[in-house]
Chains A and B, each alone.
Chain A
């Protein structure tokens, strides 16, 4: 059974529309949600958590229909959003104590350990926390009740490099059991290159690609060759630059593209690997082009 299942989720704000979106996540899956600014990542999380009302669609968390069941399903979710509202006049300890009432599996001991690892002072008033410290607090809060799934919306914003490193270690430990899942939204793919095993690309509120990370690295290639005649309709090509007689292609299925080139009599094709970062840029660029054409 999927830990998270989204069916036909739709949210419209003026001219921006998220979805309709379908997404399913199995236990043990670390999913990277990648998109440019304004692609709809934050709106997706807000719709899932209920801070914005979705227009339509169904969301199941651990098999529980969130439209029907009271918000008790949120006990299975840890959330780090773009902003974490807290009781500003209280210190970190008092905030944690208050939140612990709402989660039966909340562990103050675990919270204290996480805070220590992230070098977060819980005796300080939350009001005095910097953006990074507030994010650290949100991380502590999100993980202390042992959730089955984490929703992380650009969680490393404001974190210093050391805290970011520790945070990634914590996430790897969280995923170690093989039963927990997470969605990590970012526009910096390098953050999740090692963590994610599946990457979903969003653009203009829609899922444009849903890929297994290993497949991405295997299939995608940059192909360079020399050919005198013009080439048209090459399959699986996202980008084609040519300066007669040299050609440079980006293919999302190098084997298929190379077979086609062979059939067209093209020889001496050189294939080179692309980093996940380069692949991301290509996908987001091409999807932005496609959407603007529509």
Chain B
């Protein structure tokens, strides 16, 4: 049943995926041929397509909420864990495709692209995953009891971001002048340590997301 669910999830999101790919190709061509003073076409391409990615993600979230997609899946002969995995499989495939676009663009613009930059781009994808699961937890807690847990979580995240911003630590959502800003949480000087740290956070947040998702009242979705 899992494969059927994945197939359904891809069919359900096909249009948004199509729009996302078309816009990626458009920006790919635009930033490849543009003779602009921009000295960081890779950053510009990543910035533009990141906006496309997040806007499409918001559109999908609204569509899924309108259709009560997960309530629908709950009524089908599939488990909550299968539904959770299918949803994330689709998001991660899409994110993976986005990272591939970034890498392809970077290699097209500059064939001598360094391996270090490849890691930077891949780690930006990781920071996207981190951010998505962070938001997914906040949304999924809306159908979890008791209700105050959602507000406690959102409040906690806001305070954490505020403290990190105050300390001048990048949370990987934006691109700054500093090298480390490419990495989610420029907490450590060593990029590998940062990546390992974020990987650990993503795994923990994914486990939390599974726990919340499989114990939610899905009719509230």
Q: Interface residues, chain A, CB within 8 Å of chain B?
A: 46, 49-53, 70-75, 79, 81, 83, 85-89, 98-99, 101-103
Contact = CB atoms under 8 A, between A and B. Distances in A.
B215 A74 contact: no
Given A75-B77, A102-B78, 18 more contacts: A49-B74, A49-B75, A50-B74, A53-B215, A71-B1, A71-B78, A72-B1, A74-B75, A79-B75, A85-B68, A85-B72, A86-B67, A87-B67, A88-B67, A99-B76, A101-B8, A102-B4, A102-B77
A79 to B, nearest CB: 6
Question: Secondary structure at chain A's binding surface: helix, strand, loop or mixed?
Answer: loop
Contacts of A87: 12, 67, 72
Nearest to B4: A101
A134 to B, nearest CB: 12
Of B71, B77, B82, B215, most buried by chain A (CB within 10 Å of CB) is B77
A51 B218 contact: yes
Contact of A52 (B4, B78, B79, B217): B217
Contacts of B8: 98, 101
Interface of B: 1, 4, 7-8, 11-12, 15, 63, 66-69, 71-72, 74-80, 82, 215-219
B101 to A, nearest CB: 26
A50 B80 contact: yes
A88 B12 CA distance: 10
A8 to B, nearest CB: 20
A242 B37 CA distance: 97
Contact of B77 (A51, A71, A81): A71
Contact of B75 (A51, A70, A89): A51
A210 B196 CA distance: 61
B12 to A, nearest CB: 6
Contacts of A89: 15, 63
Nearest to B15: A89
A72 B1 CA distance: 9
B74 to A, nearest CB: 5
Contacts of B68: 83, 85
Nearest to A88: B67
A30 B94 CA distance: 47
